[in-house]
Structures are given as C-alpha cells and as structure tokens.
C-alpha cells in the first residue's frame, strides 16, 4: 500500500505570504519619504 503525502502546489505554505509588512515602506525596506536610499525608520530596513 502506498500513500501520497505530497502537498498540492496551491496549498504549499512558504511562510512568506502571511508575514507582516511595514506600513511605511510596504516591505521595500527603504524610506519612501526620502530621495536617498536610506533605510526605513520604522522597520530599519529589515524588510530587505
């Protein structure tokens, strides 16, 4: 007897879709209110 334990592609959970995103930079990691490439002051660029 064989069992198929494979998870369908549409149910595969990478763990990235449900992670919270910074409300200021929207996951970019850079300050959107600055013309220079400075890290976001709210998440400190951890979203990179």
Write the pLDDT tens digit of every residue in 30-42: 998 888 889 999 9
Neighbouring-strand partners of residue 30: 39
In the three-class reduction of DSSP (H, G, I as helix; E, B as strand; rest coil), residue 39 is classed as strand
With contact defined as beta carbons under 8 Å apart, do 42 and 27 qualify? Answer: no
What's the confidence (pLDDT) of residue 39?
Answer: 92
CA–CA distance, 32 with 24 (Å, rounded to integer): 7
| Cα four-point dihedral sign 43, 46, 47, 48 | positive
Phi, psi of 27 (to 5 degrees): 85, 0
Residuewise pLDDT in 10s, the chain (48 residues): 566 666 556 555 555 566 788 999 988 889 988 888 899 999 988 755
Enumerate the domain spans of the chain: 21-48
What's the confidence (pLDDT) of residue 37?
Answer: 87
């Amino acid at each position: 007897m064989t069992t198929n334990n494979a998870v369908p592609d549409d149910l595969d959970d990478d763990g990235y879709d449900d992670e919270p995103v910074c409300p200021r930079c929207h996951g970019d990691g850079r300050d959107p209110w600055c013309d220079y490439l400075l890290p976001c002051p709210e998440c400190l660029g951890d979203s990179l």
